[in-house]
Amino acid sequence: MPIYEYECPNHGIFEMYMLLSDFDRTWIYCPESYCAAACERVHSLCNVQPDTMWAGHNTAQGYFTSKSEYNKLLKEKNLETLTSRSDIENVRKNVAKAKAAKKEKQLNNLTKHLTNELKDVTIDPDGNTLKETNKYVRARNKPTE
């Protein structure tokens, strides 16, 4: 007996064993005792295996039908396949080192830039620059009208 899927508007999708003679039946009443809604048959998703004649593999780089094509693309893009756990850990460590080195370089560049930009700025004991000090002095000495 085949299994058909039906969808009740109140309860969602459920399965029912039906006779082959009921194949043309596109709806049934909901099997729940208190629900008498009409349930329509829905078509199930099926699982299809690829044909052995087209034994290709779908990868992140595309679909390949031969191992040599795949290896050629990996070589062109300077990629390699990691198979062991130690290889993966080494790559993660190298990535972490590269990120730390990049962050250190950015910090050094920022320090150099700020040092260069602020070399002519004088800072008074209050922590204000000379420009800010002059602004505050002008504000204090401004005559009131």
Q: 3-state DSSP call for residue 35?
A: coil
pLDDT bracket for residue 49 (50, 70, 90): low
Strand duo 38-42 + 3-8: pairing: antiparallel
Q: Where are the domains of the chain?
A: 3-42
Can you give the C-alpha Rg of the chain in angstroms? Answer: 36
Is residue 6 a contact partner of residue 14, using CB atoms and an 8 Å limit? Answer: yes
User: How far, in Å, CA of 96 to CA of 115, rounded?
Assistant: 28
The segment with the largest mean pLDDT, out of 54-58, 80-84, 110-114, 136-140, is 110-114
Predicted confidence at residue 96, as pLDDT, reads 95
User: Which pLDDT value is given to residue 55?
Assistant: 67
pLDDT at 131 over 70: no
**Per-residue pLDDT tens for 24-42?**
778 788 888 788 888 888 8
pLDDT at 50: 62
Name the pTM for this structure. Answer: 0.36
